[in-house]
Structure 1
Amino acid sequence: MPRLEDSLELGGLTVPNRLYRAPLLECAGTGPDAADRLVADLEPAAEAGAGLLCQGATIVREGPGGCAAPNMTYVDDPDFVSSLSALTERVHDHGSRVAIQLEHGGLRSMETWNAAYRAEHPGIEQLAVSDPPLPLRLADRVGLLSLSPHVMTTAEVYELAADFGRAAERAVDAGYDVIHLAGANMGIVHQFLSPFYNRRDDEFADGVRFLELVHDEVRERAGDVPLVTKVPAETEVPPVIRRRLTHRDAVGVCRRLADYGYDALVPVNGTVIWDMSIVRGEFPSRAWDDETFEDAYVGTFGGRLRRMLVELGNRAESLVFGFESTWNADLARDVRRVVDVPVLLEGGVRERGEMDRLLGDACDMVGMARPFYAEPRLPARLLAAGSGTDDRDADASTRVDPGTRTVCESCNNCTVPQAVGAPGVCRTPSVLRRAGELRRRGAYETAGRNPD
Structure 2
Amino acid sequence: MNVAALPDPLGPARLGPVTLRNRVIKAATSEGRSPDGLVTEDLIDFHRSFALGGVGMTTVAYCCVSPEAASAPGQIVMSAEALPGLRRLTDEVHAAGAAISAQLGHAGVVAHKRLTGVTPMAPSRFVNPASMAYCREITRAEIHSVIDDFGRAAQVAIDAGFDAVELHFGHLYLPSSFLSPLVNRRKDEYGGDIDNRSRFVREIAARVHEVVGGRIGIIAKLDMDDGLPGSIWVDESLRTAQLLDADGTLDALELTQGSSVFKPMYLFRGDVPVKEFATVMPPAMKLPLRLVGKWAMGSYPYEDLYMLPAARQFVPVMRNTKLVLLGGITNRDHLDTGIAEGFDFLAMGRALLREPGLVNAMRADATVRSRCTHNNKCMVTVFGRTHCVLDPAQRYGPVRAPQDSSAAVPLHG
Shared fold per TM-score greater than 0.5? yes
| Unaligned ranges ≥5, structure 2 | 1-5, 399-413
Counterpart contact for 1:287–1:417, Cα < 8 Å: no
Structure 1 pair 284–422 and aligned structure 2 pair: CA distance change class (3 A): same
Moved more, 268-277 or 198-207: 268-277
Q: Relative to structure 1, is the Cα distance of residues 150 and 285 closer, same or farther in structure 2, using a 3 angstrom cutoff?
A: closer
Tell me whether 359-368 or 47-56 shows the greater mean CA deviation. Answer: 359-368
1:68 corresponds, among 65, 71, 74, to 71
Report the equivalent of 2:232: 245
Q: Provide Cα deviations, 1:60-88, integer angstroms capped at 9, x if missing partner.
A: 102xx43223322221x213123211111
User: Quick one: which amino acid aligns to residue 4 of structure 1?
Assistant: P
**Shift of residue 277, structure 1, vs aligned partner:** 0.9
CA apart distance, 1:184? 0.7
Instruction: Tell me the TM-score normalised to structure 1 length.
Output: 0.78
Say whether 1:19 aligns with 2:8: no
SS in 1 for 2:322: coil
**RMSD value over aligned CA atoms?**
2.6
Deviation for aligned residue 1:232: 0.9
Q: Does 1:320 align with 2:299?
A: yes
Contact 1:30 1:74 (C-alpha < 8 Å) held by counterparts: no
Distance 1:24 1:277, change over 3 A: same
Equivalent in 188, 200, 211 of residue 201 of structure 2:
211
CA distance in 2, matches of 1:281, 1:258: 33
The answer for the alignment partner of 1:129 in structure 2 is: 123
1:383-394 alignment, distance < 5 Å: 383-385=363-365
1:248 Cα deviation after fit? 1.8
Letter in 2 for 1:358: G
User: Which residue of structure 2 aligns with residue 307 of structure 1?
Assistant: 286
In 2, Cα distance between equivalents of 1:24 and 1:432:
15
The match for 1:363 is 343
Instruction: Please report how far the alpha carbon of residue 125 of structure 1 lies from its aligned counterpart in structure 2 after TM superposition.
Output: 0.7
Residues 281 and 158 (structure 1), Cα distance of their counterparts in 2 relative to 1, 3 Å cut: same
Please show how residues 34-113 of structure 1 align to structure 2 within 5 Å: 34-62=39-67, 65-75=68-78, 77-111=79-113
Matched, 1:424 2:410: no
TM-score of the two chains, using structure 2 as the length reference: 0.85
1:124–1:148 contact (8 Å) kept in structure 2: no
Q: Which amino acid aligns with 1:215?
A: A
1:335 aligns with 2:324: no
Deviation at 1:286, TM superposition (A): 6.2
> Counterparts of 1:288 and 1:155 in 2: how far apart (Å)?
38
Q: Is it true that 1:347 corresponds to 2:327 in the alignment?
A: yes
Q: What does residue range 99-178 of structure 1 map to in structure 2 within 5 Å? A: 99-111=101-113, 118=114, 124-132=118-126, 136=128, 139=129, 145-178=131-164
Partner of 1:232: 223
Secondary structure of 2:288's aligned partner: helix
Q: Contact 2:126–2:134 at 8 Å: present in 1 too?
A: no
Distance 1:430 1:223 in 2: 43
User: Which position in structure 2 is the counterpart of 1:379?
Assistant: 359
| Structure 1 unmatched ranges of 5 or more | 112-117, 386-399, 437-452
Task: Give deviations 1:190-245, integer Å, cap 9, x for gaps.
Answer: 111111111112222223211221122213323222211111122622xxx33x22
Distance 1:317 1:148, change over 3 A: closer
Give the residue type in structure 2 aligned to 1:234. D
Identity of aligned residues (%): 24
For residue 95 of structure 1, report the CA deviation from its aligned partner: 2.7
CA distance in 1, matches of 2:226, 2:112: 25
Structure 2 CA distance, aligned partners of 1:327 and 1:48?
A: 24
8 Å contact kept, 1:180–1:228: yes
Deviation at 1:319, TM superposition (A): 6.3
1:447 matched residue in structure 2: none
Distance 1:92 1:129, change over 3 A: same
CA distance in 2, matches of 1:235, 1:148: 20
SS of 2:169's equivalent in the other structure is coil
More relative contact order in 1 or in 2 (CA 8 Å, sep 6+)?
Answer: 1
Cα distance change of structure 1 residues 30 and 196 upon mapping to structure 2, 3 Å threshold: same
User: Per-residue deviation at 1:272?
Assistant: 7.7
Aligned residues: 383
SS in 2 for 1:337: helix
Q: CA deviation at 1:98?
A: 0.7
SS at match of 2:102: strand
Distance 1:327 1:215 in 2: 28
Specify the code of the residue in structure 1 equivalent to 2:100: V
Whole-Å separation in 2 of the counterparts to 1:152 and 1:68: 17
Matched residue type, 2:210 = E
User: Which region of structure 1 is more displaced relative to structure 2, 277-286 or 6-15?
Assistant: 277-286
**3-state SS of the aligned residue for 1:84?**
helix
Corresponding letter in the other structure for 1:73: I
Aligned partner of 1:391 in structure 2 is none
Distance 2:261 2:277 in 1: 21
